[in-house]
Structure 1
Amino acid sequence: MDCGCSSTRLVLLVVAMALLLDGLMFSSFVPIIPAILYSLKYPENSTDRPSLSNYTTSAPFQDSEAAITPTSGSSSRSRNPQQNQTSNSSCCQIDGELLRRENFEVGVLLGSKTATQLLTNPLVGPLTNRIGFHIPICTGFVIMFVASLMFAFAQSYALLLVARLLQGVGSSFSSVAGLGLLATVFLDDVKRGQAMGVALGGLGLGVLCGGPFASVMYEFVGTNSPFLALAALALLGGALQFCILKPTKISPESIKGTAFLTLLRDPYILLAAGALCMANMVMTVLETTLPIWMIMTMSAPQWKIGLFYVPGCLAYLISTNLFGKLGERIGRWLCAGLGMILMGIIVCCIPLAKDFASLMGPSAGVGFFLGMAQVSVVTILGHLVDIRHVSVYGSVYAIGDMAVCLAYTVGPLAGGALVPAVGFSNVQMIFGTILILFAPLCIFLRNPPTTENRALVDQEVPPGSSDVDKDHGVSTE
């Protein structure tokens, strides 16, 4: 490779920052969007700063079967002075039935971003094969900066939806180009696994810390503050990437990568993508449905809902870095399968929690085993291209990102639609069981065969050739 050690670390820094921003922007919505939507639709029940921590329910909520007395306006305020003292200041009683019906609208808003990303990825993957990775990464930062500003000042559901769609386009550029660049720079399987672990750690830090970050900022600083902070981070990341990678040139490909549709027909790549999809879908179902469940069962304020993700965040960071290094020794296929099984078991048990403290252990477990499975499968995708196709990675990581996007599209919609029908507990049991049943298929990734086309490429391109590196302009000079 042309890049020195310091150059590869700078590349890794830029990619990790891009994925961190992507994760933060996605998950910041999760704990605060019920309050935002409720205040937009029912302003007569809202306080100066819309926050569901300023509301209480009229009765404990147990899944979808509970009867909640509808209340609204000034009549919803408790007439018992002692009850008023135990509530937050300016507290009013929320209509639980209206809040419960928001599950589907929340699911649409969350799923729209990944639906757009899913449609954009097949275009971005081949594009990176042609022009390199630097310009798409820079484009992703710019788009996410604009989307963050739209989130901060949107005054309607329609504008929030437009910003979410725009964010999906920016995420496609950042994630596909970022992971493809890392696979190109880090050719050794062990080093590639470590690099993917660090980059996915950035993504996981964003996804799992976005909740507490947005909750605290929204609750104690201001309604627009989470999104203005994200806009500043996008601006900083774009400036850093521009200074380090200098995305001013288009580097045409010297080695033609395998066609996108050919990769999409590879059964081993499809299996790895399916594993990514299933693990992330279970997580998204939980993320979408948990905030309202915590509000209705535990009367949890928004900052406490956000704190649910903190143990998972720390565990995910530990797991991605740990199994990025150890996965090659243990067997990445085994790490992926075990991670999915254990994650499914924990998700099935989450509805048994009776209070906030009892959710901390499951949060850490879900984060740890999701990281264990995800970093293993993402590294396997690069390895599958190396042994079965041409080592040009834009398209294969577009497929991997499409699998994650499918999960983040179907998961929120399915979770939001099913909870009112069958209840939170049954939804978690259904998706946790599906994940457990899917996990044994990872055994087919243990020793996938090399194709004849790959053998011919190995004869034409000597091992260690730097053509692929030059093709994508990975030098930071």
Structure 2
Amino acid sequence: MKFEIKMEKLGTLCNRITNSSSLTVGIVFFTLLTDCILYGIVAPILPDILKDLDQNVGKNKTTGTILINESKVEVTLVNSSCSFAYFNTGKQDVIIGFIIALKEISQLFSNFIVGPVIDKIGYDIVMFNGYIVMMTSTLAFAYWNTYPGVFIARALQGIGSAMATTGGMTLIADMFRDDEERGRMLSFILFGMTMGFAIGPALGGVLYQFGGKPAPFLVITAMGFILLILQLCTRRMRRSDFKGTSNNSYKKLLMDPYLLLACSTIIFGQFTMASLPSVLPIWMKRTMCAEDWMLGAAFLPLNGGYMVIIAILGCLNFTKRRWILNFLSFFFAAISSSTYPLCKSLYDLIGPGLILGISGAMISTSAYQILGYLADIRHGPSFYGSAYALADAAYCAVFAVGPMVSGALVPAVGFSVCMYILTGISILGILPSLFLRKPLSQEYKKDNESDRLIEQKDEARSTE
């Protein structure tokens, strides 16, 4: 009898844990944290990884040379006290930009599949499988020492990230239906993204310098494994009642001018932040003789400012004036990108980094809240999955295009001109933000199965 009572209490406790909204938010928080660490952790270590890959290619040649065609490349050292001749050949910017962008390219195209899948079968199964893909691809990146292996592993990371992050954002949107409450939760979740961007480069630089190439990626794999276990223990791995409306959901959303404007603000606002990881480390090696840990430390002011502002905005909850945050963020981005070329040391990077972090926090907070609000007033709750998939696709687009564009511009026009071009791109984002001041609502039909189920869930929650 006592055993049955204990088992009943244990079952009650498990049900409370399973239905705990706080634990669910925590899982999504650490999902985005892990994904953003995975993006930034490679930035400070890619120059040395690329050098090692090229040396392996040289060792396999019949001549037995390790260095890469140094006799055929005219090398000019920017600082004679540095020994980084390899990083002055020019081609590294392009290759590093492509490797960084490859994850986001893969994630961008995966989102167009993941969104409708979530709308049909729910987010739990998609998130769970996303963790598995992220873990296996990260392990592969750690131990594959060839260009094809690195490219494949990086692309698989994007697929796993698309499944995990889009599923997580949709879960939050479905769980918190009140606009103000959802705004607070999204601000908290975006704080996880910020922590990931902040921790990633510094963690990658330190672990690589003291633990070698596998160390950073083993840490990410362990984080993914913990998330997988947590979701397996707390979420129901079955098809949920969050089912889609139709196969034309993306077509309908892409015809909405307000949603497109909101996504365009993400692209313009985050372009500078997306471009820096591919060009800043190489530029620091050329001009500052930077060591590996310094390459990661250079991103701490940027991401520290991002973290602080995200936390503040989450507490203040700018629900009524979020378009103002969206508008002002572009001015901060322009100021930051125009001052980066003036920096001469690691300490000089603190000011521009802080300003850019503030800009990124403002655009992230406002854009996601605006997208959730637009889905509510113009399409209905059953379009959350596709709407947030489009938002994630916008992020992936800018973090895919940004590194490749900047990586190609620096060898052609130099770092300074590249940053001034990024300043102009930031200023262009002011125009679409003005149209988001007072978006017009529109009627939508509530005659599909998904909307009926969601309305039933809302009624049940209101009576609890």
| TM-score over 0.5 (shorter chain) | yes
Out of 16, 30, 38, the residue aligned to residue 17 of structure 1 is: 30
Aligned residue number for residue 76 of structure 2: 68
Aligned residue number for residue 399 of structure 1: 390
Superposed counterparts of 1:440-459, under 5 Å: 440-453=431-444
Where do 5+ consecutive residues of structure 2 fail to align? 1-14, 60-73
Aligned residue number for residue 142 of structure 1: 132
Out of 406, 417, 434, the residue aligned to residue 415 of structure 1 is: 406
Q: Give the share of equivalent positions with the same residue, in percent.
A: 32
- Distance (whole Å) between structure 2 residues aligned to residue 3 and residue 335 of structure 1: 38
Bigger shift: residues 2-11 or 33-42:
2-11
Out of 225, 230, 233, the residue aligned to residue 223 of structure 2 is: 233
Aligned residue number for residue 251 of structure 1: 240
Contact 2:84/2:285 (CA < 8 Å) preserved in 1?
no
Contact 1:255/1:467 (CA < 8 Å) preserved in 2?
no
Counterparts in 2 of 1:93 and 1:5: CA distance versus 1, 3 Å: closer
Show CA shifts across 1:301-348 (max 9, x none): 110110112222222122222223435356111101101221221111
Show CA shifts across 1:176-209 (max 9, x none): 1111111111112221111111111111211232
Aligned residue number for residue 7 of structure 1: 20
Counterparts in 2 of 1:147 and 1:67: CA distance versus 1, 3 Å: closer
Show CA shifts across 1:114-172 (max 9, x none): 11111111111011111111111111111111011101111111111110010010011
Out of 324, 338, 363, the residue aligned to residue 334 of structure 1 is: 324
Contact 1:211/1:307 (CA < 8 Å) preserved in 2?
yes
Aligned residue number for residue 163 of structure 2: 173
- Distance (whole Å) between structure 2 residues aligned to residue 364 and residue 235 of structure 1: 33
Measured after TM superposition, the shift of residue 217 of structure 1 is 0.3
Measured after TM superposition, the shift of residue 5 of structure 1 is 12
- Distance (whole Å) between structure 2 residues aligned to residue 463 and residue 234 of structure 1: 32
Counterparts in 2 of 1:7 and 1:313: CA distance versus 1, 3 Å: same
- Distance (whole Å) between structure 2 residues aligned to residue 154 and residue 373 of structure 1: 36
Contact 1:194/1:321 (CA < 8 Å) preserved in 2?
no
Superposed counterparts of 1:258-269, under 5 Å: 259-269=249-259
Contact 1:190/1:325 (CA < 8 Å) preserved in 2?
no
Counterparts in 2 of 1:5 and 1:433: CA distance versus 1, 3 Å: farther
- Distance (whole Å) between structure 2 residues aligned to residue 325 and residue 317 of structure 1: 13
Counterparts in 2 of 1:230 and 1:463: CA distance versus 1, 3 Å: closer
Where do 5+ consecutive residues of structure 1 fail to align? 47-65, 71-77
Out of 87, 102, 123, the residue aligned to residue 133 of structure 1 is: 123
Superposed counterparts of 1:192-231, under 5 Å: 192-231=182-221
Out of 455, 458, 464, the residue aligned to residue 465 of structure 1 is: 455
Aligned residue number for residue 101 of structure 1: 91
Aligned residue number for residue 351 of structure 1: 341
Counterparts in 2 of 1:344 and 1:330: CA distance versus 1, 3 Å: farther
Secondary structure of 1:355's aligned partner: coil
Aligned residue number for residue 40 of structure 1: 53
Out of 83, 102, 108, the residue aligned to residue 118 of structure 1 is: 108
Secondary structure of 2:316's aligned partner: helix
Aligned residue number for residue 286 of structure 1: 276
Aligned residue number for residue 365 of structure 2: 375
Measured after TM superposition, the shift of residue 283 of structure 1 is 1.0
Measured after TM superposition, the shift of residue 67 of structure 1 is 6.7
- Distance (whole Å) between structure 2 residues aligned to residue 180 and residue 291 of structure 1: 35
Superposed counterparts of 1:149-188, under 5 Å: 149-188=139-178
Structure 1 letter corresponding to 2:20? S
Structure 2 letter corresponding to 1:173? M
Contact 2:76/2:85 (CA < 8 Å) preserved in 1?
no
Counterparts in 2 of 1:461 and 1:147: CA distance versus 1, 3 Å: closer
- Distance (whole Å) between structure 2 residues aligned to residue 124 and residue 103 of structure 1: 31
Show CA shifts across 1:393-434 (max 9, x none): 100011111111111111111011110001111111111222
Counterparts in 2 of 1:220 and 1:402: CA distance versus 1, 3 Å: same
Q: How many residues align?
A: 430
Secondary structure of 1:434's aligned partner: helix
Show CA shifts across 1:47-74 (max 9, x none): xxxxxxxxxxxxxxxxxxx97159xxxx
Contact 1:254/1:468 (CA < 8 Å) preserved in 2?
no
Contact 1:194/1:324 (CA < 8 Å) preserved in 2?
yes
Contact 1:118/1:401 (CA < 8 Å) preserved in 2?
yes
- Distance (whole Å) between structure 2 residues aligned to residue 423 and residue 465 of structure 1: 56
Measured after TM superposition, the shift of residue 461 of structure 1 is 6.9
Measured after TM superposition, the shift of residue 466 of structure 1 is 4.0
Structure 2 letter corresponding to 1:250? R
Aligned residue number for residue 27 of structure 1: 40
- Distance (whole Å) between structure 2 residues aligned to residue 157 and residue 468 of structure 1: 51
Show CA shifts across 1:271-313 (max 9, x none): 0011111222221112211000111111111101101122222
Show CA shifts across 1:3-41 (max 9, x none): 999722111101111111111111111110011001221
Counterparts in 2 of 1:253 and 1:431: CA distance versus 1, 3 Å: same
- Distance (whole Å) between structure 2 residues aligned to residue 284 and residue 96 of structure 1: 21
Contact 2:268/2:426 (CA < 8 Å) preserved in 1?
yes
Secondary structure of 2:43's aligned partner: helix
